[in-house]
Structure formats: C-alpha cells, structure tokens
Amino acid sequence: MIHLEYPAWVDQVATIGAVYATDADKMRLAIAVARRNVDEGTGGPFGAAIFESATGRLVSVGMNSVVRGNNCTLHGEMVAFMMAQQRLGSFTLAAPGMPAHELATSCEPCAMCLGAVLWSGVKRMLCGAARDDASRLNFDEGPVFPESYAYLEARGIAIVHNVLRDEAREVLERYRANKGAIYNA
C-alpha cells in the first residue's frame, strides 16, 4: 500500500483554485514550493505546480518527497501530476471536456519526469533552473537528450526554458549550503 500526504506547510504557500496569471507568477509559486521544502527539511530543492492554462487557476503543487516518502519516484513533478489527477479523478489532464493544463517546474525535469510529462496530459511546460544547475549539485538528471524535448514538442507540448532561472537556481544553492542529501548522485 502506498500513501502520500502533503507536508503541513503547503497551505501556507499555495492556494488551490487561486489564479496565477503570468508565466512568472506560475514559476514563482513552483520556486516558493521548492524553497519551503528545503527550509522545512521535507525534501529536495525541487517544486512544481499545475494550472489550467486558460484561467491560470492552480490545480495542484508538488514538492520533492523522495526521502520523506521512502520512494524514488516522488520528484516534485510526479507529486504534482499525482495530486492533480487524484483531485480531478482522471489519469490524464487531457480527458475529453477538460480545459488544457500546464506545468511549471523549478528545474528542468529528469528523464523519469520528462517521460511523465508526456503521460500526464499537460500541454505546456515552464522550466526554471537548467539541467546544468542541478548537475552542479551532483543531482543526476538521467538520459535526457535534445531529442527527448523534440519528442514531446512533436506531440504538441509547448516547452519554455529559463523562466526566472536565477531565482530557481538560488534554491539549489541554498540546498547545497544546507548540505542537503543528494539522493540520486
């Protein structure tokens, strides 16, 4: 049996249903989730959030929960997908009749999460920090190649890189300064 709950601080950072109008607003939330996760010691320095594209309404957030959950799959993006799909009662965010959804992630996804982006049903992805920013902390990002992004784009997923990259990177540096665990070095 698998069981995962959000850390208690989530409601202080994010309000489900609130409107995050711009790409910067959306990314600022993903980064805030990552930062709080570091400061509270509840996981790695990665946060994510899912929004309705047309309205900017927040559907879910996700924070790295690998160590807390004893579960290697619980990266920030994965938690955001799981929680959004749970809330909507659907294994895809692109079910008939649903509005389009998009993901903001505080760092370019690892190979696992990039694959999950495809299965999640989101139509757009905003990335904050770059793969290299995570690699500098010795986080391995896995087998992600330029062709991997092209594969998603060919299936209709729009991808925007380097959204508030400096702010996103600052959280990674904060984690390093705190000597946080590198669970997949």
Judged by the rule CB under 8 A, the positions of this chain that interact with its own copies are: 1-6, 66-67, 69-73, 78-79, 81-83, 85-86, 88-92, 110-116, 118-121, 140, 142-143, 145, 147-148, 151-152, 155, 183-184
Would you say 132 or 140 has its CB closer to its own copies? 140
Q: What is the dihedral of CA 169, 124, 54, 30, to 10 degrees?
A: -20
- Rounded-to-integer distance, Cα 185 and Cα 181, Å: 9
The single residue of 77, 102, 108, 141 carrying the catalytic annotation is 77
Would you say 12 or 147 has its CB closer to its own copies? 147
Would you say 111 or 137 has its CB closer to its own copies? 111
Does residue 141 carry a catalytic annotation?
no
Cα Rg of the chain, angstroms: 15
Q: How far is the CB of 114 from its own copies (least distance, A)?
A: 7
- Rounded-to-integer distance, Cα 71 and Cα 91, Å: 20
- Rounded-to-integer distance, Cα 97 and Cα 129, Å: 33
Catalytic residues: 77
